[in-house]
Amino acid sequence: MDFAHQALVDNVPLTKRDMYYKDVPLFKAQGTVDRLVDDLAVTLGLERADLKIRAASKGLICGTGLTMHLLEGETITINDLEGTLIPTAETIERFELKGDISWILVVEKEAVFQTLCRFQFASHRSLPGPGLIITGKGYPDVATRQLVKTLSDNLPEHIPIIALVDGDAYGLDILSVYKYGSRNLRHENKKLAAKRIEWLGIWASEIADLEVDLDALIPITPHDQKKARWALLPAMSLNNLITKCPHRKELTRMLHTRRKAEIEILSSSSSQRSNSLIHYLAHKICHFIEMSA
């Protein structure tokens, strides 16, 4: 509370990481700070931004045509060759889009994001138009969720917002954070949940069509099995995401085969046709664009 008070008095935002390093022996772990800050905000009926406390940004975005104008006067223009760090919403004055955006792809893993940047996939010739690619590097930070939410609220309905996550309980949990919000920040979910986002893949049921041998998939761990079974319980479904029949079928298939479909299988496969990451994504994105038209 003292750190938050000082940040308000000085009018200088403080990151949770900064707070942790101010007294490491006291907090012992970053998670302690995270929980205390969220508890303080909920108790006071405020958002973290009202306390001048924010999470350090970690999410990345690439593509063409999007410019972010910051309150301090800086202008950030993204490109399709490399990721640009997503600034916190409190520092952004406005967004500016130049040209048409045809799709938004949210990617679970940074490694896959970087691969797509190297291929300049955001403006790839196999797609009907340019797009934006975003990653929260696993479970997304607030800044990444706020950006996806802003795009979801302001872009026309015919522009699909889709997610590429692992076909397991953890991947679906990450998707549910984008779509419905998180339990830790449930008091802020209305301004963070992007209800339009849909699951592009990868689905375990696609593996045969992608010409990937089942033995090439990674065996599930006891943690995978426990989380999947927990998610399939009606009362414990991940923010109701798993109540959707296709999603339940995917998790059930994973438990049956004891293999999980990870995104990397698309880029590591030797297949020259269906297993190409670029070919797979282009095909699926075009499908979603057609469905949204």
Q: Within this chain, do residues 7 and 109 fall inside the same structural domain, yes or no?
A: no
Which CATH number belongs to the domain containing residue 219 in this structure?
3.40.1360.10
The whole-number pLDDT of residue 238 equals 46
State pTM to two decimals. 0.79
Mean pLDDT of 6-27: 85
Q: How many domains does the chain have?
A: 2
Q: Tell me whether residue 20 is one of the annotated catalytic residues.
A: no
Q: Please check the confidence at residue 222 and state whether its pLDDT lies above 90.
A: no
Q: Please check the confidence at residue 214 and state whether its pLDDT lies above 60.
A: yes
Q: Within this chain, do residues 44 and 110 fall inside the same structural domain, yes or no?
A: no
Q: How confident is the model at residue 275 (pLDDT cuts 50, 70, 90)?
A: very low
The whole-number pLDDT of residue 122 equals 92
Q: Within this chain, do residues 135 and 273 fall inside the same structural domain, yes or no?
A: yes
Q: Please check the confidence at residue 67 and state whether its pLDDT lies above 80.
A: yes
The whole-number pLDDT of residue 245 equals 53
Residue 159 resides in a domain: yes
- CA nearest to 42, candidates 153, 146, 171, 188: 188
Other C-beta atoms lying within 10 Å of the C-beta of residue 102: 17
Residue 282 resides in a domain: yes
Q: Within this chain, do residues 285 and 191 fall inside the same structural domain, yes or no?
A: yes
Q: Within this chain, do residues 265 and 195 fall inside the same structural domain, yes or no?
A: yes
CA–CA dist 117, 80 (Å, integer): 6
Residue 174 resides in a domain: yes
Residue 66 resides in a domain: no
CA–CA dist 185, 172 (Å, integer): 18
User: pLDDT tens digits, residue range 244-266?
Assistant: 556 777 778 777 777 777 777 77
Q: Please check the confidence at residue 198 and state whether its pLDDT lies above 70.
A: yes
Residue 178 resides in a domain: yes
Catalytic hit among 20, 21, 170, 280: 21
Residue 6 resides in a domain: yes
Q: Please check the confidence at residue 270 and state whether its pLDDT lies above 70.
A: no
Q: Within this chain, do residues 50 and 103 fall inside the same structural domain, yes or no?
A: no
279 burial type by CB count under 10 A (0-12 exposed, 13-18 middle, 19+ buried): middle
Q: Which range, 67-76, 130-139, 266-275, has the best average confidence (pLDDT)?
A: 130-139
Residue 200 resides in a domain: yes
Q: Which domain holds residue 142?
A: 96-292
Residue 86 resides in a domain: no
User: pLDDT tens digits, residue range 91-105?
Assistant: 888 888 887 889 999
The whole-number pLDDT of residue 52 equals 85
Q: Within this chain, do residues 22 and 105 fall inside the same structural domain, yes or no?
A: no
Q: Within this chain, do residues 25 and 109 fall inside the same structural domain, yes or no?
A: no
Which of 60-69, 189-198, 204-213, 222-231 comes out lowest in average pLDDT?
Answer: 204-213
Q: Please check the confidence at residue 271 and state whether its pLDDT lies above 70.
A: no
The whole-number pLDDT of residue 274 equals 36
Share of the chain above pLDDT 70, in %: 89
State the Cα torsion 58-61-83-118 to the nearest 10°: 130
